[in-house]
Amino acid sequence: MKTKVTKAIFPVAGLGTRFLPATKSIPKEIMTLVDRPLIQYAIDEARAAGIKEFIFVTSRGKGALEDYFDINPMLEQTLRKSGKDALLDTLKTTNMESGAIAYIRQHKALGLGHAVWCARRLIANEPFAVILPDDVIAAEKPVLQQMVEAYEQTGGAMVAAMEVPPEKASAYGVLDVEEDMGDLVKVRGMVEKPARETAPSNLAVIGRYILTPNVMANISKMKSGAGGEIQLTDAIAEEINQDRGVYGFRFRGQRFDCGSKAGYLQAMVAFGMARDDLRDEFTAYLEEMVSVRKAAQ
Ligand code: UTP
């Protein structure tokens, strides 16, 4: 029987330069979609997939992220006294069981592979998930849950994959497909940020992974790759060289790249329009904006 995936790593130690100056003092993961920070969406997705241990790889200046998961007794008391029960319930969704969260420090932003490797002692000899909170995915069934279900059939290493236009493939890790089975593809190679003419497909890796402890061992041996960083993609590709299964999983859902300004704004609109309490007012405003713009053209 395959070992259940109960640990997830959240690498949040990046500099977030695309959101400067905001990220000078706010971690990117604390930015909100409507009223919930990006990290809350990631945690909820992990919980739905059966994750019990949440490992954050953090860095300098990420204190707000740690505070976010603490209980705030004064705030709770004030809300209780004023009978704001609905808000109290909302706050409760941010509470984590004691001991469920661990914070590990990445002292230098040496790349995603290195960030994941920083958590190696907490992972020990178990499979684990990796979630990049700036990839937010709206989905009927949370994407990590979809992947865990597929992983129960395949084992091995699994990456979330998505078709992208060929001219965009060079911004991603890209899969070289050995066998296409529909939702699942068997992978024979992976390249991080390939030049357009050398991209092996337009199937791109996005920020959800289920990995084996062996991938950790591979990272230990890695030298820096594309962009001078220690790449997670290279450590996963190494699994294929060692004849271990690597799969791409075509998830069902809409992914927003909240690490980029355009993607973040699109997510804000989509999540705003999805909310019952905001939909009518917000949609009417957007329609008005569009017609004003059209009239001005
Ligand atoms: P990004 O490539 O989005 O980098 O990292 P970034 O620093 O967050 O943002 P920009 O590009 O400067 O705007 C993808 C994920 O990997 C984490 C980031 O926190 C993000 O969740 N990461 C990246 C680390 O934890 N450590 C690193 O050394 C690099």
Task: Tell me, using a 6 A CB cutoff, whether residue 130 lines ligand 1.
Answer: no
pLDDT at position 83? 93
pTM above 0.85, yes or no: yes
Amino acid at 110: L
Spell out the SS3 assignment of the chain.
CCCCCCEEEEECCCCCHHHCCHHHCCCHHHCEECCEEHHHHHHHHHHHCCCCEEEEEECCCCHHHHHHCCCCHHHHHHHHHCCCHHHHHHHHCCCCCCCCEEEEECCCCCCHHHHHHCCHHHHCCCCEEEECCCEEEECCCCHHHHHHHHHHHHCCEEEEEEECCHHHHHHCEEEEEEEECCCEEEEEEEEECCCHHHCCCCEEEEEEEEECHHHHHHHHCCCCCHHHCCCHHHHHHHHHHCCCCEEEEECCCEEEECCCHHHHHHHHHHHHHCCCCCHHHHHHHHHHHHHHHHHHC
pLDDT digits (tens, 9 = 90+) for 207-234: 999 999 999 999 988 777 667 788 899 9
Q: What percent of the chain has pLDDT over 90?
A: 77
CA–CA separation, 116 vs 104, rounded Å?
10
Task: Tell me, using a 6 A CB cutoff, whether residue 106 lines ligand 1.
Answer: yes
Task: Tell me, using a 6 A CB cutoff, whether residue 226 lines ligand 1.
Answer: no
CA of 112 to the centre of ligand 1 (A): 7
Domain boundary assignment for the chain: 7-259
CA–CA separation, 175 vs 160, rounded Å?
11
Which CATH number does the domain 7-259 belong to among 3.90.550.10, 3.40.50.970, 3.40.640.10, 3.30.70.260?
3.90.550.10
Q: Six-digit token pair at 171?
A: 């911004």
- C-beta separation of 13 from 109 below 8 A: yes
Task: Tell me, using a 6 A CB cutoff, whether residue 111 lines ligand 1.
Answer: yes
Task: Tell me, using a 6 A CB cutoff, whether residue 148 lines ligand 1.
Answer: no
In sequence order, what are the residues at sequence separation of 6 or more whose Cβ sits closer than 8 angstroms to the Cβ of residue 270? Answer: 138, 254, 256
pLDDT at position 116? 96
Average pLDDT rounded to a whole number, residues 104-122: 94
pLDDT at position 93? 86
Task: Tell me, using a 6 A CB cutoff, whether residue 51 lines ligand 1.
Answer: no
Average pLDDT rounded to a whole number, residues 121-129: 94
Q: Lowest mean pLDDT of 69-73, 148-152, 268-272, name the range.
A: 69-73
- Between 148 and 124, whose confidence is greater? 148
Average pLDDT rounded to a whole number, residues 268-294: 94
Ligand 1 atom nearest to 229, measured from its CA? 28
Q: Which of 131, 134, 172 for a ligand 1 pocket mutation test, highest count of atoms within 8 Å of Cβ?
A: 134
Dihedral sign, Cα of residue 91, residue 93, residue 98, residue 104: negative
